[in-house]
Structure 1
Amino acid sequence: MKERGKAVSIKDIAKKAGVSISTVSYALNGNGKVTDETSARILAIARELNYTPNAAARTLKKKESKILGVFLTDFQGDVYGELLDGMKEVCSSQGYDLVVCSGKQSHRLLPERMIDGAVILDQTFTSDELLGYAVQNHKIVVLDRELEHPNINQVLLDNKAGATLATEYLVEQGHKKIYIVTGPEGSFDSMQRMKAVRMVAERTEDVEWIEIPGDFKKSGGEHAAERIMKEYTEPVAVFCLNDEMAIGFCNRMAETNLLIGEHIHLIGFDNIELARYMQPRLATIDYSKRKWGALAAEQLIKLIHGKKVEHERIYVTLVEGDSVGKAESHTLQLP
């Protein structure tokens, strides 16, 4: 028996079986070059020695791991669950496994070829870093930036269309003072949504637009609520660039006499599950997170197999809710 803690190698099996290393390799991989009798004896010895294949060595030899990586900035956020479910469903149907990573140390899985390709929704990757990997023939699908390279495919959410729907909806309801609670600095989604907001603002007359820095977390909505409470003199509209901040905003407002849908007209973005149960129902921007994840995985597998892919976009729709009403319907001042 091998000493406790020491890994068993193919060489150990070959020595005990009295055969060459290549014969053991053939037997372990089911190659027909080895007779059934010899193969059965080698497999029995491998079990006896508790042999475990070296995944890294196997990956290098076969040039594939049958594993896809998805890289996230962090694991917070209600969007990720459905997104990952969509990816996993496609991976399972195509014979791939999925690993979910976060943090700069995990980036090495790509250049070390421990995974066959990567889906990126992670600000810790620079665009230059991803382009460098693409030049080395690594296959990548990006969900959070625009990059042009034959080995990179874009599957992007239509952020601009969603933000346009949200802000135009508030304007159509007659609101003349609109607060925008932004996302974190450097966020692609936030930057794209804010571009659309500013375009709507430029072509809209007699509306005051006020930006409040946010963070895509409940805390960002809570901080925005604190500011708006201090500045409040008459009904206003608020567009939180994601639902989590909108929920945080509502939580803080629930501690005051200001009512959502009457004094504060609120719309979010993402239509996360929790938002669907809020009272009043949160107006928001909807899209299929599961489809987004599934499409990303499908495109990555196509890239890996050398198939042609086109950039894709996930479309959005407006979900109206009682959290937004017409401006002229609720003009009473608070006592």
Structure 2
Amino acid sequence: MVSIKDIAKHAGVSIATVSYALNGNPKVTEETRKKILTVAQELHYVPNAAARTLKKRKTKILGAFLTSFEGAFYGELLQGMKEEMGKRGYDLVICSGTQSHRMLREGFLDGAIILDRLFSDEELLFHATRGHKLVVLDRELSHPNIVQVLLDNKAGATFAVEYLLRHGHKKLYVVTGPTGSYDAEQRLQAARQTVERNGPLWYAEIPGNFDKESGAAAAQRIISEYSGPVAVFCLNDEMVIGMYRALKDTPYRIGEHIHVVGFDHIETADYIQPRLASIDYSKRRWGAVAAEQLLKLIEGLGSEHERIYVSLVEGESVKRS
């Protein structure tokens, strides 16, 4: 059986460096980590814990890997996963952070659902090549052991921008999302394409991070540049909530001076005033479909890529210019 000593010899690094790389330790640079993972894959390395698990039995435990737990987004998604897995006798473990990646690497999980930017594509492909079953919600990867269950981000962003344009708005801000986020990149790309198709109009992007703080910062910039009614597409609802709060004690009103559409239609969106227009989809169904496809993949029942469709929920946060 290949050991980490063999990997170290072939990669020209120390055994300690190989151990750090395989366990996701930040002491190793990304370049070195990729090199070591490549060598490990070429040598068909399997961690001892994973080998022991494969010899004994399935764990009947599945993992959901998330970048963070912040915001109101994750509850319904995870509940959908849990309910579907429970029907088949599986338990769900929620993981976050690079150290938790070892649970997959060392075979403590029968499979995993990935919504975690801390996993690189190379790392996931490495795990898939080793036989791990994965469902990805946040990227496009081609491998027999990986299934994609992706949100239709481009359709949603197109709906949002077209809704603002149909209301006669010719000045548009887009508040973006975190660097490296697949969902944010897809939404921003579609927003830009929709603007290009429907120009000419005034257009600007404000950096965001899918949190209330960046939404509040975006509101402050919009106020500082304000010269008349503007339309805003925030790439998620958490940023819109921050914008509402930031504007609360100012003369500027949502639906009058600033017209806003969000994305995700979180529960709070139905209770803030004026009611928020947002892109809606079933987060519980997204989680359930992801779990269903993972179980099919594990059991060899013909899993397939799926797309979660979206719709626009209109609200008083957008009125005619």
| TM-score bracket for this pair, using the shorter chain length | 0.7 to 0.9
In the aligned structure 2, how far is the partner of 1:258 from the partner of 1:111? 51
- Give the aligned partner of residue 291 of structure 2: 297
Instruction: Provide the C-alpha distance between the structure 2 equivalents of 1:103 and 1:227, rounded to a whole number of angstroms.
Output: 33
- SS at structure 1 position matched to 2:198: coil
* Displacement after TM superposition at 1:206 (Å): 2.6
Q: Does 1:77 align with 2:67?
A: no
* Distance in 1 (alpha carbons) for counterparts of 2:167 and 2:312: 14
Q: Does 1:130 align with 2:146?
A: no
Aligned residue pairs total 273
Q: How does 1:99-248 map to 2 (within 5 A)?
A: 99-248=93-242
C-alpha offsets along residues 272-308 of structure 1, whole Å, 9 cap, x if unaligned? 0011111100000000000000000010011011121
Q: Tell me which residue corresponds to 1:51.
A: none
The CA distance in 1 between the partners of 2:58 and 2:161, in whole Å, is: 47
Matched, 1:272 2:269: no
- List aligned pairs for 1:35-46, cutoff 5 A: none
Query: Paired residue for 1:39?
Result: none
Cα drift, residue 63 of structure 1: 3.1
Any conservation in 1 of the 2:50–2:105 contact (CA below 8 Å)?
no
Distance 1:230 1:77 in 2: 27
CA deviation string 1:151-185 (max 9, x = no partner): 00000000000000000000111001000000011
Q: Extract unaligned runs of 5+ from structure 2.
A: 1-48
Q: Deviations over 1:60-88 (max 9, x none)?
A: 44331000000000111211000000000
For residue 57 of structure 1, report the CA deviation from its aligned partner.
Answer: 9.8
Taking structure 2 as the reference length, the TM-score comes to 0.83
Q: In the aligned structure 2, how far is the partner of 1:190 from the partner of 1:58?
A: 39
Q: Deviation string for 1:131-170 (max 9, x for gaps)?
A: 0111111000000000010000000000000000000000
User: Runs of 4+ in structure 1 displaced over 4 angstroms?
Assistant: 55-58
Structure 1 or 2, whichever has the larger Rg, is: 1
Structure 2 distance, partners of 1:60, 1:304, is 13
Query: How far apart are residue 56 of structure 1 and its match?
Result: 8.7
Aligned to 1:8: none
Alignment RMSD: 1.3
TM-score for both structures, normalised by structure 1: 0.80
Cα deviations by residue, 1:9-44 (Å, 9 ceiling, x for unpaired): xxxxxxxxxxxxxxxxxxxxxxxxxxxxxxxxxxxx
Percentage of pairs with the same residue = 63
Aligned partner (choices 299, 309, 315) of residue 315 of structure 1 = 309
Partner of 1:254: 248
Q: 1:62 aligns with which of 45, 56, 62?
A: 56
Matched with 1:263 is 257
Q: Name the counterpart of 2:86.
A: 92
* Aligned partner of residue 204 in structure 2, secondary structure: strand
Cα deviation, 1:87-130, whole Å, max 9, x if unaligned, reads: 00011111000000000011111121100001000000000100
Gaps of 5+ in 1: 1-54, 328-335
